[in-house]
Amino acid sequence: EGLGSATMHVRRCCRAAARGLLQQRRRRLSGAAHMHVQDEVRAALAEGRPVVALESTIISHGMPYPENVAVAKRVEAVVRAGGAVPATIGILHGEVHVGLGDAELELLATADDVRKCSRRDLAFAMAHGMHGATTVSGTMVVAAAAGIDVFVTGGTGGVHRGGELSLDVSADLTELGRTPVAVVSAGVKSILDIPRTLEYLETSGVPVCTYRSEEFPAFFTPRSGIMMPRSRVDAAGDAADVFFQNKFVLGLDNGMLFAVPPPEGNDAENLYENMERWVAQAVEEARGQVDGADVTPFILARVRDLSAGASQELNVSLVLNNAEVGTAMAVQLANYKRELLEDGGDDDAGLSLSLRPSPGPSPSPSRNPSLKGGGG
């Protein structure tokens, strides 16, 4: 009887702590005076509605104009169609913006002096009144400060090929180890060393989950040869539940990576062998020509040229697919948080809160034939 009473007390304390953490996160937005939060985004966060963060590097450094703007708007449209509010993040004239309008997207897409902003670059860009496009790392920092839990991107950075000698490791990995945001991507960029990247994330205590697959994707293809059968989630609600436990029940400050295979039905499998050859050539050409933050844009541009644009088409396809999955996850996570805040009495539901997906938007099976069964 004493043990049962103690267990019930622990469960009540955990639920109370989770509620307190949720309320604290919600109050943080009002203190983010250094940010320009779009009215639509601010209202959604204040009301507990789902918001999905989007990066801006793909706009300024990832694609040529005007396709970059068109793709950014398509991704935002996917988020809206899934029932969430998109919040593209960037820096304009030294001020952080959470949510960009059409004119602001155009500015980032066409300006010549847009700085690529990781965590280390944010303060410098702000102090010097610069324009900045946020990377995965920079976007995570701002999203967490604004109270946004889910961030969708194409692929994250990682350990570069040869990184065991050059120590060229993306700040995205360290950010995942210290910033509590769920990152939904097609794995890490295929130009990187995927096995070493996963080893780094494991050392940093970052949970990595594969979505509806037991194999970690390699950005352009679902095949990397790296199997992760114990970290598979089969629905957006499952992914949301895992992140909820990590952030709001355990109160951990690390992020999580949810790796989504690219849509089936494209030419990724047919192009994979050529893609590896093009990547290897681009990596070799980059040596001695560029370094630091310029390496990834250089390699991606060369692969785009060598593939006659095929790599960019695949990139757009997988970003849109990630947006569907990430939005469904954000919707379920918002449901979980609302249930917890509204639950006034049942503190005996268990330490894990036993939250299960409620009906809600799920990725469209027609867009990705591999998405079968129940939705988010």
The alpha carbon of residue 6 and the mean position of all alpha carbons in its chain are separated, in whole angstroms, by 38
Closest by CA position to 224, among listed 158, 174, 171, 167: 158
Residue 192 DSSP label = B
Bridge-based pairing of strands 232-233 and 114-117 is unpaired
Bridge-based pairing of strands 182-185 and 208-211 is unpaired
Helix (H, G, I), strand (E, B) or coil at 185: strand
Count other C-beta atoms under 10 Å from residue 370's C-beta. Answer: 17
DSSP, residue by residue, 248-265: IIS-----EEEE-PPPTT
State how far the alpha carbon of 191 is from the alpha carbons of 299, 311, 323, in Å. 8, 12, 22
Angle between helices 310-342 and 67-81 (to 10 degrees): 30
Contact by Cβ (8 Å): 101, 40: no
Tell the residue number behind the tokens 């006659």, with chain if given.
Answer: 308
Q: Which residues pair with 233 in a beta bridge?
A: 211
55 is catalytic: yes
Q: How far apart are CA 72 and CA 64, in angstroms?
A: 12
Q: How far apart are CA 171 and CA 108, in angstroms?
A: 22
Helix (H, G, I), strand (E, B) or coil at 308: coil
189 is catalytic: yes
Count other C-beta atoms under 10 Å from residue 7's C-beta. Answer: 13
Bridge-based pairing of strands 131-134 and 182-185 is unpaired
Catalytic residue, chosen from 55, 76, 104, 215, is 55
Catalytic residue, chosen from 116, 175, 189, 247, is 189
Active site residues: 55, 189
